[in-house]
Structure 1
């Protein structure tokens, strides 16, 4: 009996060894040696996870990131590091640290050690004010945990931290404090990945950057900046581009003066004010960046509260984003939005859309006044005519409510994204362009039946949550997750979402200068998922008709 037990133990050990995947162990980077942790994913497969590797030194206040000095011995890269200093969700306190420029790496392994894998670098969203590379825990696991995507897509996933809020994006609009420090952090991280990823089994010549919301706008800026030529090869934006109205701070000095007042640094002399700001406590500065929710009551729209954003600095962003697409022509580009990306914002601006109360004509017009305030009444009337044209004489209350969500989705996300896709296709230098609309029904409880894909709802599927936490999902969600991972990782490998190791449910045709197909992504995909000219009537209105109305900017805006 004892011999039998010993034999079984021996056989079990041999079986474990036979079925286990390879693992990296200690990896040499430019800063020193790092050791992560290997996670078993299934038969012959695992993922090596490295958390908290520094890609730059602790940044100086409103300075570009500097190289990390390195370390002795072996760094245990097994825990996420602090997020960059930021306000908490409830805005009562701060969290995070100034020592925050770290990244995380997820490397899939099979029987043999991986080599020359495509690399996907993720930039998180959060209105340039909040967020982290390990944000939004779901059942104990980070939303951006890359294990499932890496394992199923056979790509290396990298997630990075960058500075946000006043420390990341405060600017004077000139060389004294040019801003865009968070964008420089992202750039430094991408450059670090290019220099070091080969040691982890990645291909430094095949890097894709991708992001959602403010992270997507950041990806867009990285494409447009002259500093990134040769650093990466492909880009994916989900629900945000540099052309989004919330993604560019057009009056940075006004915001800097506002922050200065809050921290006791207001001075008539701007140089004295800047000196005072540079000596101010980082936590006080961060708290000064909190959203003043009271400003919205009866006065404006949510978009007005999203103040921190990149600025045209004559350097990283040398000109208007729309004039920089010649810099992006060599990147393959895949972009799209969620069908109701604007719903959560519309629900704040017009609360009745999520209630039983009727949403009135006055509320719709008021929303349009808030969005088009620099154009005046004629623009409001023309936009209202367009969006109400399908209502009929006695509009269905649900149709009116959905129209409100459509208005904000179009204005904040869809139209800017379609414009960016078209500009990319017009400027392409042999690179490919792809357009999508993600419209899976919302999983958020309590919303009306007509609500489809909410802002950021695509991320759970892309990062494989239906597989990582199957108990809270259904088979249809796993189907959708499988489709998204296949399209995204195929694109990262080849520049074509249809071509790669992972099968896709339907061929996705490229978007070109004269041919504008898009793919509707949900759990029921077939040939009918390919359509053309996404909301072209509304895109044409906002990009052509609306721009012909004269601006009526106030004197305060011009100062």
Structure 2
């Protein structure tokens, strides 16, 4: 009897450690079963490789797709790409993995479930797929597979010598290889490769939009959602990347030219040392927050982004696929909350440092910078007014318009004019008191507002979020996501008609609470004329008109 009980016990133990197995053309994958917040069992596969580790000879090179493996791949570990964390370097160079979450205990190939691929944010400098997606939160449903991906960040993913030695955009090309992996393999997890929706927040949102423009991403997805970012936001495209590459190389004792020698030398330098040196690119306060980002790489043999994004949209060189974009009311709380203890310092130096704070030091000619800064400050704060904590909300408005609203609105207008597919827009205006992003950037002060990416806490249950306060709006976003990713495009049809934007005017869903939603039409939320001089330079509008 004792022997029989022992056998039964060990069988139970062994069974409890088993998980879902999936056979793919690359090999077998084993995950684990997990339980969602509402008690639904789902199958979790974390840490599946989609590309070879970008180390050694593959450092600073384009990603190489992963080959077949022997045995069973135990998909039970999450990874994070090397980045500068709060207390120094964190993550690993070996990081090109993705995570897959499938509804239910049984993974059945015939189900053909809709697929959502999340591209994490973090200014192209930080973050990871698992941190930005709380699987227990999103798996309270039975109709959608969720996937999160990692991609190389900072200098390891976006360094560029503006030639074919290090053309740049390796982080974006990582994303492309990950999407190809999903297209080739998701059917074995019960997913539909013909119903893939990209989604992302901040830099992830801009990444989603860039895939609409990139020739490398053609045919890899069917629709996309961009939350708090588009390809037209000023922090997305890095001007003069060669200057940054040369400065980095010199800082670790490597040659600044030719590019081949620069690359060969920095390849041999420890990545932690390179990461440590990236701090030299902070010019004032925390700016620029993206010293390494996407580059226009038309010079490359394999370009990801061959032209200025504005030009591509104007010329209708954009995938004709449905798109949903969004913005929060007070986006400028990022990066504004960084300065919560520095208002006097910012005010004292604003005219001289605005080109750094507002990230136009590589675009606006030096001789007109101070006049432009004076005009901007006078408009937003009032002529002769000083910046202080009491009127910091006006500074947040300035940052909202510069870093987010202008690019989001222009992208929606241009894409809706270029394409037949619908372009939806929602404006997140749910004020729960202290902004979630402010709690992270300035935890010791009460900064109220609807901050950058605050909406994604309701959609994806961001790992740092307090889940309880956000449950009441989850049902609203569940309806939006379910409708959009299934290709129905009758969003919230049970309540009212939320029409897509068309042409010059913006049609948007204003979300104020779980019961207060209304559709509005406006021309713009941004003061007209104030930013035109800068926008014309950054969008290369003169060149476009001449070419057309």
TM-score, normalising length from structure 2? 0.81
1:344 aligned residue (330, 334, 353) = 334
- C-alpha deviation, 1:419, in angstroms: 1.0
- C-alpha deviation, 1:78, in angstroms: 2.0
Instruction: State how far apart, in whole Å, the 2-side matches of 1:276 and 1:27 are.
Output: 42
- C-alpha deviation, 1:521, in angstroms: 2.5
User: Do the aligned partners of 1:37 and 1:48 also contact (CA within 8 Å) in 2?
Assistant: yes
Give the aligned partner of residue 557 of structure 1. none
Partner SS for 2:278: coil
Partner SS for 1:530: strand
User: Do the aligned partners of 1:171 and 1:179 also contact (CA within 8 Å) in 2?
Assistant: yes
Give the aligned partner of residue 310 of structure 1. 294
Give the aligned partner of residue 554 of structure 1. none
- Asked if residue 492 in structure 1 is aligned to residue 492 in structure 2, the reply is no
Partner SS for 2:148: strand
CA gap of 1:269–1:78, structure 2 versus 1, over 3 A, is: closer
Instruction: State how far apart, in whole Å, the 2-side matches of 1:124 and 1:351 are.
Output: 28
More deviation in 54-63 or 368-377?
Answer: 368-377
Give the aligned partner of residue 129 of structure 2. 133
- C-alpha deviation, 1:549, in angstroms: 8.3
Partner SS for 1:379: helix
- Please list the CA deviations of residues 26-83 of structure 1 after superposition, one character each: whole Å capped at 9, or x if unmatched: 2122210112122244899421111111111122111111121221222221222x31
Give the aligned partner of residue 555 of structure 1. none
Q: In structure 1, list runs of 5 or more residues that go unmatched.
A: 1-22, 136-142, 552-559
- C-alpha deviation, 1:421, in angstroms: 1.0
Q: In structure 2, list runs of 5 or more residues that go unmatched.
A: 1-17, 540-548
User: Do the aligned partners of 2:213 and 2:309 also contact (CA within 8 Å) in 1?
Assistant: yes
- Asked if residue 461 in structure 1 is aligned to residue 458 in structure 2, the reply is yes
- Please list the CA deviations of residues 407-443 of structure 1 after superposition, one character each: whole Å capped at 9, or x if unmatched: 0111011111111111111111x21101122222325
TM-score, normalising length from structure 1? 0.80
User: Do the aligned partners of 1:349 and 1:367 also contact (CA within 8 Å) in 2?
Assistant: no
CA gap of 1:340–1:550, structure 2 versus 1, over 3 A, is: closer
CA gap of 1:107–1:401, structure 2 versus 1, over 3 A, is: same
2:475 aligned residue (468, 478, 482) = 482
Instruction: State how far apart, in whole Å, the 1-side matches of 2:61 and 2:146 are.
Output: 28
- C-alpha deviation, 1:237, in angstroms: 1.0
Give the aligned partner of residue 9 of structure 1. none
2:31 aligned residue (36, 40, 64) = 36
Give the aligned partner of residue 246 of structure 2. 257
2:468 aligned residue (444, 451, 473) = 473
Instruction: State how far apart, in whole Å, the 1-side matches of 2:258 and 2:35 are.
Output: 60
Give the aligned partner of residue 8 of structure 2. none
Mapping of residues 17-32 of structure 1, within 5 Å: 25-32=20-27
- Please list the CA deviations of residues 288-324 of structure 1 after superposition, one character each: whole Å capped at 9, or x if unmatched: 223655x315xxxx44242010111111110111122
Instruction: State how far apart, in whole Å, the 1-side matches of 2:497 and 2:44 are.
Output: 33
2:190 aligned residue (201, 205, 211) = 201
Instruction: State how far apart, in whole Å, the 1-side matches of 2:319 and 2:155 are.
Output: 32
CA gap of 1:44–1:186, structure 2 versus 1, over 3 A, is: same
Instruction: State how far apart, in whole Å, the 2-side matches of 1:433 and 1:278 are.
Output: 43
- C-alpha deviation, 1:446, in angstroms: 4.9
Give the aligned partner of residue 7 of structure 2. none
Instruction: State how far apart, in whole Å, the 2-side matches of 1:42 and 1:348 are.
Output: 33
Give the aligned partner of residue 410 of structure 2. 419
- Asked if residue 432 in structure 1 is aligned to residue 422 in structure 2, the reply is yes
User: Do the aligned partners of 1:238 and 1:337 also contact (CA within 8 Å) in 2?
Assistant: yes
- C-alpha deviation, 1:465, in angstroms: 6.6
1:272 aligned residue (261, 285, 303) = 261
Mapping of residues 36-115 of structure 1, within 5 Å: 36-41=31-36, 45-59=40-54, 60-80=58-78, 82-90=79-87, 92=88, 94-109=89-104, 113=108, 115=111
- Please list the CA deviations of residues 333-389 of structure 1 after superposition, one character each: whole Å capped at 9, or x if unmatched: 111222222113223357466xxx8996x6775675543552424433443454356
CA RMSD, Structure 1 to Structure 2 (Å): 3.3
Give the aligned partner of residue 409 of structure 1. 400
Partner SS for 2:261: helix
CA gap of 1:270–1:196, structure 2 versus 1, over 3 A, is: closer
Instruction: State how far apart, in whole Å, the 1-side matches of 2:327 and 2:153 are.
Output: 23
Instruction: State how far apart, in whole Å, the 1-side matches of 2:421 and 2:147 are.
Output: 23
User: Do the aligned partners of 1:506 and 1:525 also contact (CA within 8 Å) in 2?
Assistant: no
Give the aligned partner of residue 383 of structure 1. 376
Matched pairs, number = 497
CA gap of 1:65–1:496, structure 2 versus 1, over 3 A, is: same
CA gap of 1:486–1:276, structure 2 versus 1, over 3 A, is: same
Give the aligned partner of residue 119 of structure 2. 123
